[in-house]
Structure formats: C-alpha cells, structure tokens
Chains A and B, each alone.
Chain A
Amino acid sequence: MSTVCFMHGNEAAAEGAIAAGCRFYASYPITPSTEIAEILSGRLPEVGGVFIQMEDEIASMAAVIGASLGGLMSATATSGPGFSLMQENLGFAVASEIPCVIINVQRVGPSTGLPTKAAQGDMMQARWGTHGDHPIIALTPSSVQEAWRLSVRAFALAEKFRTPVILMLDAIVAQLKEKVELPDAPPQVQRPLPTEPPARYKPFAFTEGGVQPLAPFGGDYRYHVTGLLHDEHGFPTEDPALVQRWWAHMGSKIDQHLDEILEWEEDGLDDADVAVVSYGATARAAAHAVTLARKQGLKCGWLKLLTVWPFPEERIRELAAKVPRLVVAEMNLGQIRLEVERLAAGRAQVQGVHRADGLAITPEQIVAALQGQ
C-alpha cells in the first residue's frame, strides 16, 4: 500500500531519511538545502531522533560521524560552500569506514556563487573533494520520487559498505514540487551487527570484497578509531604491507559490488544514432528533447545516471561502441563529459551541452545537439 502526496525534492530527501531509519541529523542551514533541516527539526523529535544545528559544516560532519559511531544512522545536508567545509571530516569517515549520508543540494559556485540558482557543478568535488585516493558512492535523483527512493538507498548503501554516501540533488529537483507515491511501510535500513565475540572482533577487517559490521561504540566491543591508516584492529600502522592490504580492502569493498551499487535508466537506445547522457534535473530536459527529436524522425535515446560515483564505466564503454554520437548534458562546464570522453576513447564522438549560469538546460538546446548543431 502506498500514499500519494505532493512535495518538493528537499522534503522527499528528508522523508526518505526518516523512512530509512535516520535518527541523527546535524547541519548548518544553507540555501537551497535549508528545507531539509527545517523539516527534520520537526520530524526527528517525533520519531525519537536528534536534530542539532551545529556551529558550521565542519562540526556538522564531525557530529554525524560521532553519532554514527554511537550506533545511530546519521545524515547532514548542505550546499556547495558547506560541502567544501565538510571535506576534512568526510575523509575521516572514508578512512575509518563510518557510514553516513551527506545530502548536497547543488547551487552555482565557486564560493558564494548564485545561492538560489541551480547547478550540477559539484560532481567532481563529490568524487575527489577530500584528499587522497578513496572510494565513494554518490547518487543523483532527477525527480522528487527518486529523491525519496535514493535517499532511502543512500542509507542502505552507506550501512552495507560502511562508507559515506553523497546524495547529489540540484536546486531544481530540490525545490520542484510534484506527485510522489510513498509506501506506507517502507523497508527500514538495518545496520548489520557483528556476530563474533568482542575478543575476536576486528573492526576494520581486511576482507576481500567484504565489510566487517560496525559495532556501536562504547558497548561491549572496545576498539580504536583513527584517521591514520590502520591495521584490522584500528591501530595506526606505517607498515607498507599492511597499508597495501588496507587499499585492497577499501577498493574491493566497492569494486566487487558494482552490480548492486550502479543504477541507471535508459530509453530509445536500441536503434539510436545519437544518445544523450545526463542526470539530475537535466535528465528531464533530455527525455523531453528525445521525445521532440524522435517526432522529427531522429533516431535517438537517453541514458540517465542514478549512481554517478562509482561511474558506470562498462555501460558507457558499451554505449560508445554501439552509438556513434553521444551528447552529455549537465549544468556545469563538462565534468561528467570528461568521464564519458575518457570511456568513449574515440569510439564515439562526444559533444557537451553545458551551462552554469543558473538556468536549466532546455530541451531545445539538447535537440540542437542531437541534430548535430
């Protein structure tokens, strides 16, 4: 059973968090994400959770890590300037494998930029914003319904793979209101718990492709957590052999589960001479453009990324081998286009449709690109 209601993307992301089982939220309000904080400040106390407005986004991210270590599913939300401040502690969460969800509602940057205007300019920051090589998961909803579903999914992936997951909304999806269907009894995300006795628990076990369940801190399982590279018990190490095993663990826990993590949708690609790759609000303009162009007799299709990191490399390679021309449409100056170009490796011609002036990419712009203009 489900209930039909009308809401905007920020509300859907917040309600998705509640439905998933998020019970701690810390943030500093910032346009265009503020509604998420506003809604959770009311909703979390209703379900026995804790909402706190921190002094800044550095502290917000730190508090989220602390609450998650203590056993609560935890999240924060922000926009570009705050996302920049979060990178330090985001790296700590990556290195110490602490599950958490960061919702980044993208506005035009850099710096204060255009605070109320939409962009998709933080895609590479989501991938590489914190220093050092690291795995990350980032999801990009294109509708209010997807904002809810991917919010729930973000918590599921974070908990399963013990990693920060970044839910990348853009200001259009965040503030767009539309109809959504919410299941009355959504499946709650459960954090797995360790089964071995505390004396044998290795909180950071180097399991090839696997993840050790995270025991709630402060209970029977005593362990050491650090942002220094560490051994399986969590104690710092500089032993290159151990560090290499750590890297193998960190990479394989994501790479061996791409089937589960990667998600995209596509349409009209079977006979396509040209295809548009897009994500977020821009994917809606892309679908509209393909409908318009098909009416004009152009054989075209679209692919919409729902998981953007890790990138669906295999699918893009296949596409480039089959479709001679690829158009990448995004509200930035070409961040994902570079990824598509890298994977196409010359097999398909890649053309970008980009803007970063606060306005949505229009279907007409994409139709023109599909027509080769």
Chain B
Amino acid sequence: MVDDRRFASTWQLLLDSICQTMGRLDPQRFDGPPVILSSLPDLPYTRDGRDGPAPLPFIQGPPGRNIALAIGLRAALPRTPLVLLMNADSVTLGTNHLIHAARRNIGLTVLLLRADLTQHEAAGTMDRTGWGRPAYQQALEGPTRPLDWATALEAALVGRAHLQHPDELATLLTRALHTPGFSLIGVTQDETLPTGVLSQCDWPEYFSAYRDWCVPLRRADASPAAAAVAPRPARSVARQEWRIAGLGGQGVKLAGTVLSEAAGLFEGLWATQRGDYGSATRGGPSMVDVVVGSEPITYPNADHPDVLVLLTQAAADRWAGRARAGAVVVVDDDDVRRCPPGALSLPITALAREHTGKPIAAGMVAAGCVAALTDALSLDAIALSIAANMPAALVAGNLAACQAGHAATRAAQQETSACPGS
C-alpha cells in the first residue's frame, strides 16, 4: 500500500534541505533558485489549488532520462543550480546516463534516494538493484553500488547524508553544488551508514575543458563560403555524365570533387558529384559520378556515362558495358588486361607515380583524362579546383599529374590507340 504520510514527509524534508541551500549559494557563481529534475512518483506535483507560478522550476522528464536532459540544460544555463532527485530509475533505466555524467563531470548534483525512502507499491518491482532487492532477485544479482561507480569514475564529489538530518543534508548539498563537476549524494534514513563526503576528485569542469579541447576541424575562414568564385557567363552545355571507378585509395572521390567543383564553381555550370562506397575505405570498390550541364541537374547518377575512366579490371568488367553509345572509355593499363572493345588504354597509375611518386594521384590523372574528353571543362578551371581542394604543397604535383592525363588522352585519340575490337 502507498504510505502517503511517510512519502510526503520525505519530500518535505528534501525540499527543506534544498531551500536551505538557496541562501548559501555564492552569488558570484549562481543565478536564480535551483532547478529540480525528477521523475519520482508521488512527489507533490499538483498545484494544491494555488494559482500562479510553480514554487520551484521543476522538470519531470522521462524516468532515468533526467540526467541526460540536465546535461543539455547545463549547456544552456551555466549559472543555474541543477538538482536531480532520483531513485531506482537512475540505476536501472538511467545507469548509462549516470555513468557518463560521472565520467564527464558536467556540473550536476544528483540526490539518490535509497529504497528505504521511497516505499510505495512501485518500489518493490522497481528496486531490483540491491537497494531493497526482492528475494527472487537475490540469487541473480549482486547489490548495486552507484556511489562506488561514481567514485571509480572520478566524479567530482560522492557523499551520503541522512534524510532525518536536513541541516547536514543541506550542508553537503551546498558543498556539492559549489564543487565543479558531477556530484552524487546518497540519501538514506539508515543510521548505520557513514555520512559526509566519501570521495572527492579534482577534475576540470567538463564544459569549459571541452570547449578548450575541442579542435575545430575547419576554421571559419575555411568554411564553405570562402571559395572565391567567378562564374563565367552562361553557355549552353548539354547534360554530360562522367564516371570514374577504381579502388579506395586511388583518389577517385577527390577526382570527382575536383571535376565537379571545376564545372560548378569555376565554369559557372551546374554540377553534381555522388560517390558510392561500402564499409571499406581503402581497397574496396570506389566510384564517383559527376553530372554537369548548363541546366540544373535533376537525376545525379551517371547511369549512362559519356566518359568512363576505369582504373581496375573489376571496374572495367562491371562498368564498361554501361557507357552510352558514342561514349569514350578510358582504362588504366596498370591493372586492366582485358581491355573493353574500343577503350583507350593509358598508363594512368604510371603517370601518377611519375608526377607525384604516389599511386593515389591516379584520380588526378583520371580527372585530366575526363577534361580532355569534354568541352565543358578547361584546364584553367581544373587548376583552380585542384588548388581549392588540397594543401598548397601538393598542388603542383597533382596539377602535373592531371595535365599528363589530359595530354596522354589527347595523344591517344590522335594515334587511335584504342583497344582492338572497336
């Protein structure tokens, strides 16, 4: 049966302790009254017929989730005291959040009520944690010791207080609130348990430290708005589809970026780039589709490519047959032994090694091949795009690789060095 009197008195004692802290908080550090977060059943959530605002700002979040909710609240309200009242929900539903809050040491204070304070019908089934374990659980689970967890995870402050001594509880709570980081206070009415601070850890306040440690991956001046673009006057270019396929590690995706940005940004055309990849980043099949034209691109896949550059035998076997009638297929003679009929066989990887020393520049040679086979792109635009997409030290070598691919393609077309069978 619900013991309303007993529970109401628990709540009143807790509220009394929390209210006692209000006069003791350092005004240099704190603004406003404590915000309370809890999902405890049977707290006096009703307004008791009173009108107007709530006595304390109170969030009754989903059981167990209040800890995670409070982390967001802390980010928004760095100067507001945050107090969580929790029972078994924090060590069942909320265990993961409790552990990570302790680990992160974000500034929160959790008052964890032992089962002896939250006796009601639900407690019997909720408290399977050693905090009043039902008999059927005892054979399955050892006792849960959340104060030990928090200590092991170096929470800023771990302590215990007796509910029947509200002044002591208020003193410990005030200390916890002033301690930067995460505090966990077990609240009990068991006089045999030791009270006071059980563990304290000197730990940087998480959010300030996090901001200091957080290294922006890209500075503001490298954000997307930074590319200096001078679109050329519009000219009419019919939709063209290009596909480069090979292996991860051959620079395929970068080639797509260089080509699509050259067309989209530096030629003033519309362009899309779509990569396809599996779970492996290197060594697995890698492919990029670029579609360009003077009209906005609708369907972004190069299902019927006008230009296909195939860097491996597997790519040649899979894709050569997909080319549109009249398309140009280029293959890398380094790996492609069974040359598709009519394809241009060029030393793509060899040129990459020659100009950069690395096979990863094969993609740049391939980009040069594409540029040689389209009227949509100038080498000037490609040079600007290469410069915009890699560190300055790498630009010259990659540009040379790209130009070599361009020159080799033009030469091969004139010499009709196509594979037999065309």
Can you name the residue of chain B whose Cβ is closest to the Cβ of A15? B224
B97 to A227, Cβ gap below 8 A?
A: no
How many inter-chain contacts with C-beta < 8 Å in the A-B complex?
243
User: In the complex, which residue of chain A has the Cβ closest to the Cβ of B60?
Assistant: A226
> Within the assembled complex, what's the spacing in Å between the Cα atoms of A64 and B69?
7
Residues of the A chain whose Cβ atoms lie less than 8 Å from the Cβ of B402: none
- A147 beta carbon closer than 8 Å to chain B: no
A331 to chain B, nearest CB (A): 13
Kindly report which residue of chain A lies nearest to residue B274, judged by CB atoms: A176
CB 8 Å contact bits of B205-226 with A (1 = contact, 0 = none): 0010011001111111001111
A360 CA to B300 CA, complexed, in Å? 10
If A178-B273, A228-B60 touch, whether A234 touches B77 (CB-CB below 8 Å) is: no
- Asked whether any CB of chain B lies closer than 8 Å to the CB of A214, the reply is no
Q: Which stretch (A37-45, A243-251, A318-326) binds chain B?
A: A37-45
Bound Cα distance from A175 to B62, whole angstroms:
35
Which residues from A are CB-within-8-Å of B275?
A: 175
Tell me if A182 and B56 are in contact (CB < 8 A). no
> What band does the interface of chain B fall in when counting residues whose beta carbon is under 8 Å from A?
35 or more
Contact B299 A50 (CB under 8 A): no
Which residues on the A side are within 8 Å of B301 (C-beta)?
Answer: 360, 362
Q: Is B59 an interface residue (CB 8 A)?
A: yes
Chain A: number of interface residues, binned into ranges:
35 or more
Query: Contacting A198 at CB < 8 Å: which of B53, B58, B60?
Result: B53
**A179 and B271: CB pair below 8 A?**
yes
Residues of A near B61 (CB, < 8 A) are: 62, 65, 92, 225, 227
| Residue from the list B53, B77, B207, B271 in contact with A222, Cβ < 8 A | B53
Are A59 and B96 in contact, with the CB atoms below 8 A? yes
A residues 52-71 touching B (CB-CB < 8 Å): 52, 54-56, 58-60, 62-71
Instruction: Confirm or deny: B411 has a beta carbon within 8 angstroms of a beta carbon on chain A.
Output: no
Q: Which residues of A are found within 8 Å of B278, using beta-carbon distances?
A: 116
Interchain CB contact under 8 A, A201 and B72: no
Does any Cβ of B come within 8 Å of A317's Cβ?
no
Instruction: Name which of B127-135, B138-146, B257-265 contacts chain A.
Output: B257-265
Alpha-carbon distance between A63 and B59 when the two chains are bound, in angstroms: 13
Interface residue B75 (Cβ < 8 Å from any Cβ of A): yes
Task: Name the distance in Å between A193's Cβ and chain B's nearest Cβ.
Answer: 15
**Residues of chain B contacted by A89 (CB below 8 angstroms):** 62, 65, 69
Query: Contact mask B20-57 → A, CB, 8 Å, 1/0?
Result: 00000000000111010000000001110000111111
When C-beta atoms are compared, the residue in chain B nearest to A362 turns out to be: B303
A296 to B71, CA, bound (A): 59
| Inter-chain contact A64/B72, CB cutoff 8 Å | yes
Cross-chain contact of A291 among B70, B214, B218, B298 (Cβ < 8 A): B298
> Knowing A62-B61, A284-B300, A287-B298 touch, does A56 contact B96 (C-beta < 8 A)?
yes
Chain A nearest CB from B207 CB (Å) reads: 7
Q: Is the CB of A55 within 8 A of B264?
A: no
Task: Tell me if A347 counts as interface (CB < 8 A to partner B).
Answer: no
CB distance from A77 to the nearest CB of B (A): 15
**Which residues does chain B contribute within 8 Å of A54, judged by CB atoms?**
68, 71, 100
| B104 nearest CB neighbor, chain A only | A52
Knowing A55-B100, A62-B69, A219-B32, the reply to whether A178 touches B297 (Cβ < 8 A) is: yes
Is B314's CB within 8 Å of the partner chain A? no
Contact among A66, A177, A287 for B273, CB-based, below 8 A: A177
Q: Is the CB of A5 within 8 A of B224?
A: yes
Residues of B within 8 A of A66 (CB): 59, 68-76
Closest to B100 in A: A55
In the bound complex, residues from chain B placing their C-beta under 8 Å from that of A199 are 52-53
| Chain A residues closer than 8 Å to B183, beta-carbon distance | none
B35:A116 contact, CB within 8 angstroms: no
B80 at the interface (CB under 8 A from A): yes
- Asked if A72 lies at the interface with its beta carbon under 8 angstroms from chain B, I say yes
Q: How far is the CB of A96 from chain B (nearest CB, A)?
A: 9
B229 at the binding interface (Cβ < 8 Å): yes
From B69, B219, B229, B299, contact of A65 by CB (8 A) = B69
Which partner residue on chain B sits nearest A361 by CB separation? B299
Closest 6 CB pairs of A and B: A70-B76, A66-B72, A42-B216, A63-B72, A67-B72, A62-B68
Question: Could you show 28 A-B contacts with beta carbons less than 8 Å apart?
Answer: A6-B224, A26-B72, A43-B223, A45-B211, A45-B214, A45-B216, A46-B219, A63-B68, A66-B68, A66-B69, A66-B73, A66-B74, A66-B76, A69-B73, A70-B73, A70-B76, A89-B62, A116-B279, A176-B272, A176-B274, A217-B76, A218-B31, A222-B33, A224-B57, A225-B60, A228-B45, A284-B300, A362-B299
Q: Which B residues are closer than 8 A to A by beta carbons?
A: 31-33, 35, 45-47, 52-62, 65-66, 68-77, 80, 96-97, 99-100, 207, 210-211, 214-220, 223-227, 229, 231, 256-257, 260-261, 264-265, 270-275, 277-279, 297-301, 303
A interface vs B, CB < 8 Å?
A: 3-7, 11, 15, 24, 26, 38-39, 41-43, 45-46, 50-52, 54-56, 58-60, 62-72, 74, 88-89, 92, 115-116, 172, 175-179, 182, 184, 198-199, 201, 216-219, 221-228, 233-236, 281, 284-285, 287-288, 291, 360, 362-364
